[in-house]
């Protein structure tokens, strides 16, 4: 398997647009291989679908990471959704230098869902990989994912790990670990969370093209989870690679940050429907918000206990039904449990915090999986301390 080493260098550009500060992040990936992975790959065109809107500050770095991929048979499909900040000019300059870049532009801003669906129809590749305009692909991202999908024809969608960087400071952020790797684990995780990170995925084009983003009016700002839930319900298999093949810039002005409240509400609704479709369970709203780790100041101790109980019930059922996938199932369930408890301690009222502490006594850390204990350690190290 390939070993990748990420080196990130950061330049601060000052005096641009009245002293606004942007972090220009360059990514170099040094790869050491015992064998040449390209030699084992079937020559298949991969479409990298990159939708963008007013992404002038980051589009150069994103495209540079794509044209430098070790896998060369690419269609880099860049769709400018009506930008007015010079993004389109930058894309055209890149396209003039590399004919693999296919530049498309809309005269109006149609939104991400419309742009993604347009891209699915335009894509010519046997595989479709996703990336955003403020992401950076490791040099061996495409070759690694193609090799896996060639070796596992039953997998429809493949994700990976990721690095995260603060878009304002350029400092590395703590990245969440990949929680599930194989189809049973991803299906179990989809009951309460997105099992793959959207900007890291590569999918088989005929399967992905047969679906459309935005299957319901609740898909806005959670279009990836809503789509994946429908695909999983139809029996398509998902998997994840442990390698961190994408670096993501996280900032307060991103789409998710700007639309957090709507994103949370829509995700909760999509997850509620997915849970009912997959298990026949219709949880109460309060219990379900705990189960999907979206509890807030209005959540009660009773709802916390009910949400944790639902997670335990579904975990035990999954373990009985899939005894060969114990590791993936336990890792996913344990990390979700820890997230729920920590969220309750952060946001809950006094009775909710007491119930969370009581739950940890009944479920001591030494009963958790090794991965979950490590995850708990990283979480505790990130908690603020009093001076």
Residue-wise pLDDT for 62-79, tens only, equals: 999 999 999 999 999 999
pLDDT greater than 60 at residue 19: no
**For residue 7, what pLDDT is reported?**
34
The CB density around residue 327, as the number of other CB atoms within 10 Å, is: 15
Residue-wise pLDDT for 260-282, tens only, equals: 889 999 999 999 999 999 999 99
> Distances from the Cα of 145 to the Cαs of 163, 167, 196, 205, 301, in angstroms?
17, 26, 14, 14, 43
pLDDT greater than 60 at residue 175: yes
Rounded Cα–Cα distance for residues 300 and 351 (Å): 7
**What are the start and end residues of each CATH 3.90.550.10 domain in the chain?**
3-258
Rounded Cα–Cα distance for residues 300 and 306 (Å): 10
**For residue 217, what pLDDT is reported?**
85
What value does the mean pLDDT take over residues 317-328?
97
pLDDT greater than 80 at residue 383: no
The CATH number for 3-258, chosen from 3.40.50.1980, 3.40.50.720, 3.90.550.10, 3.90.1150.10, is: 3.90.550.10
pTM of the predicted structure, to 2 decimals: 0.85
Local confidence band at 377 (pLDDT 50, 70, 90 cut-offs): confident
Closest-CA residue to 20 (of 248, 247, 251)? 251
pLDDT greater than 50 at residue 45: yes
Count of CA atoms in the C-beta half-sphere (13 A) of 286:
13
**For residue 58, what pLDDT is reported?**
95
Closest-CA residue to 179 (of 166, 170, 188)? 188
Rounded Cα–Cα distance for residues 97 and 6 (Å): 26
With a CB cutoff of 8 Å and minimum separation 6, the contacts of 71 are: 38, 41, 46, 140, 142, 143, 146
> In percent, how much of the chain has pLDDT > 70?
85
The mean pLDDT value of the chain amounts to: 86
pLDDT greater than 80 at residue 324: yes
**For residue 385, what pLDDT is reported?**
44
**For residue 321, what pLDDT is reported?**
98
């Amino acid at each position: 398997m390939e070993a990748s080493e990420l080196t990130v260098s950061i330049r601060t550009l000052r005096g641009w647009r009245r002293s606004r500060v942007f972090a220009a992040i360059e990514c170099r990936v040094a790869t050491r291989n015992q064998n040449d992975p390209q030699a084992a790959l079937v020559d298949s065109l991969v479409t990298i679908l990159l939708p963008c809107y007013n992404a002038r500050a980051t589009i150069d770095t994103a495209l540079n990471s794509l044209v430098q991929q070790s896998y060369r048979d690419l269609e880099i499909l860049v769709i400018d959704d009506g930008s007015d900040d010079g993004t389109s000019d930058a894309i055209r300059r890149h396209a003039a230098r590399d004919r693999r870049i296919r530049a498309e532009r809309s005269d109006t801003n149609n939104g991400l869902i419309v742009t993604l669906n347009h891209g699915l129809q335009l894509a010519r590749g046997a595989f479709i990989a996703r990336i955003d305009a403020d992401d950076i692909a490791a040099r061996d991202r495409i070759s690694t994912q193609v090799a896996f999908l060639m070796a596992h024809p039953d997998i429809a969608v493949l994700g990976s790990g990721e690095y995260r960087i603060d878009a304002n400071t350029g400092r590395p952020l703590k990245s969440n670990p990949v929680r599930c790797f194989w189809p049973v684990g991803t299906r179990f995780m989809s009951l309460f969370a997105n099992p793959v990170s959207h900007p890291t995925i590569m999918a088989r084009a005929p399967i992905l093209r047969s679906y459309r983003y935005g299957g319901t009016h609740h898909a806005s700002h959670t279009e990836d989870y809503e789509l994946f839930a429908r695909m999983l319900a139809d029996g398509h298999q998902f998997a994840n690679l442990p390698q961190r093949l994408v670096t993501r810039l996280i900032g307060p002005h991103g789409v998710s940050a700007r639309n957090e409240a709507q994103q949370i509400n829509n995700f909760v609704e999509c997850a509620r429907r997915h849970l009912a479709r997959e298990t026949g369970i219709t949880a109460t709203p309060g219990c379900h918000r705990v189960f999907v780790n979206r509890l807030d100041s209005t959540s009660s101790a009773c709802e916390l206990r009910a949400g944790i109980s639902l997670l335990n019930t579904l975990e035990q059922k999954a373990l009985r039904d899939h005894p060969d996938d114990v590791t993936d199932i336990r890792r996913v369930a344990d990390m979700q449990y820890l997230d729920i408890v920590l969220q309750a301690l952060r946001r809950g009222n006094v009775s909710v915090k007491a119930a969370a502490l009581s739950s940890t006594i009944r479920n001591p850390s030494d009963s958790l999986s090794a991965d979950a204990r490590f995850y708990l350690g990283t979480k505790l190290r990130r908690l603020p301390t009093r001076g």
